[in-house]
Amino acid sequence: MRIALLLIFFSTMAVFAADTPTSEEKAAMDYVAKLGGKATLDPHFSADARVSAKFEAVSDAVLTGLKKYPRIGGVDALDAPRCTPKGFAALKELPNLHKLVLGKSYLTPDGATAIGQCTELRHLGLVNSLVTDAELESLKKLTMLEHLALSGNSKITDKGMQTVKGFERLQVLYLGNTSITDEGLIELKGLDGLRTLGVGGTKVTQEAAEKFADQMPNLRAVRR
């Protein structure tokens, strides 16, 4: 009985410790709050960078300010049209940045090159961001990616899938409302770790989607 109680006590203390920010984490969280964002601790991030920062909108000034806080492991913004390559370049100063989601970021070639330097990224979202095949090429160094969302970028074509297939660790891939076809889908056959694939609003046919799902060992279905 005493041993059981001790186990419960230490287990509770471990959970409490995991949920309690360190002084450096608290400083980062306070800064995010000062900027109007919301900060939490994400247990899925690296132990060295557990702070997840979420904003309605961001600018270069916000991204540049965040680089002072290396405990930030995730940056998520619904609206990022005011960001330029200068702001994106600041993100590489976050050594353990695992997640970056930037809606409406209107990415330029220079901006894509800057994001491509964040080589620790596991999760990247660039939805409705005017991404083209050329910008995808600039992201090819992000070989740690497991989750990639590119929906709403109509200028991404089958050619861009030659870059995407190089992200061999991908488990989740969203390509809705891009311009890929059955031919582009075939390019992705080497991504045998895929568990989720979305191609709604594309020219991928039902027949090709079903055949692709049958050939992929971990993919139950292609979402159309």
pTM (2 d.p.) = 0.91
The pLDDT value given to residue 7: 45
Rounded distance, CA 122 to CA 224, Å?
24
Is the confidence at residue 14, as pLDDT, over 50? no
CA 113 to chain centre: 16
Is the confidence at residue 213, as pLDDT, over 60? yes
Rounded distance, CA 224 to CA 218, Å?
17
Write out the E strands in 38-181.
Answer: 38-41, 51-59, 72-82, 99-102, 123-125, 147-149, 172-174
CA atoms within 13 A on the CB side of 76: 14
Domains of the chain: 23-223 (3.80.10.10)
CA end-to-end distance (rounded Å), the chain: 55
Cross-sheet strand order for the sheet of 72-82: 38-41, 51-59, 72-82, 99-102, 123-125, 147-149, 172-174, 196-198, 222-223
Mean pLDDT is lowest, of 1-10, 60-69, 129-138, for: 1-10
The pLDDT value given to residue 5: 43
Is the confidence at residue 18, as pLDDT, over 90? no
Q: Among residues 145, 135, 146, 143, which one has the least CA distance to residue 109?
A: 135
Q: Which two tokens stand for residue 132?
A: 């083209």
Token pair 């070989």 in the structure block, residue: 143
Residue 46: CB atoms within 10 A of its CB come to 15
Task: Decide: 174 and 188 in contact? Cβ < 8 Å.
Answer: no
Task: Decide: 139 and 163 in contact? Cβ < 8 Å.
Answer: yes
In terms of pLDDT, which residue wins out, 17 or 48? Answer: 48
